[in-house]
Amino acid sequence: MLLSEQWVLVTGGARGLGAAITRALVREGAGVVVNYRKSETLAHALRDEFGDRVLPIQADVTDAAAVARLFETAQAQTGQPIVSVVNNALADFQFDGDARPKIDSIDWARFQQQLDGSLKGALNAMQAAAAGMRSRGFDLIASSTPVRRVTTPEEFADAVLFFLSPWARAVTGQNLIVDGGLVKG
């Protein structure tokens, strides 16, 4: 499915890396559901910048019911299910540099907050997306499930195009295994 034919959910899509991903997706023709928890102003600024190709929706990704409502709202407003999800949200994460807690003073709550945001949030989003993915013929989570067949020359060529494109400008000296997940690299 072409990016221009779908709405992609970017969790934590209003600031930092999420905003950069949102802008890249819109540039390539996708509609983007920009999930935010507290960054309402930034999410709506992306809507102002890109118009109706950006749909900001507030939800705490650690709350399964809130994520289910996000998916329902997105489908009601776009007329189609979300079939692509970029799990980017990290609850209240900010790089603290030298001000971050050290090993002798950090408490478990800080770790738990990040686990809930990155793992529980991703699980909630993937579970909410599953029915819509299946309805559009997607029955796997890309990047983690083997396609259980030999890669075609055309699929391999697509990977070559990536490395030759501006999208790979920060990728150097990599060995990419393009085998549909049959070999664990």
**pLDDT given for residue 94 in this prediction:** 62
Query: H helices within 28-120, ranges in order?
Result: 40-50, 64-78, 108-115
Return the pLDDT at 50: 97
Of 9-13, 138-142, 178-182, which gets the smallest average pLDDT? Answer: 138-142
pTM (predicted TM-score): 0.77
Q: b/e for 57-92, b at 16 or more Cβ within 10 A?
A: bbbbbbbbebbeebbeebeeeeeebbbbbbbbbbbe
Give the residue range(s) of CATH 3.40.50.720 domains in the chain: 3-135
pLDDT bracket for residue 166 (50, 70, 90):
confident
Q: Which pLDDT does position 143 carry in this prediction?
A: 45
Confirm if 22 and 10 have CB atoms less than 8 A apart. yes
As a whole number, mean pLDDT of residues 26-38 equals: 94
What pLDDT, on the 0 to 100 scale, is given for residue 150?
Answer: 76
Q: Using one digit for the tens of pLDDT, what is the confidence trace for 120-140?
A: 999 999 999 998 888 887 655
Query: What SS3 class is residue 7?
Result: strand
Flag whether pLDDT at 95 surpasses 80: no
> CATH homologous superfamily of domain 3-135?
NAD(P)-binding Rossmann-like Domain (3.40.50.720)
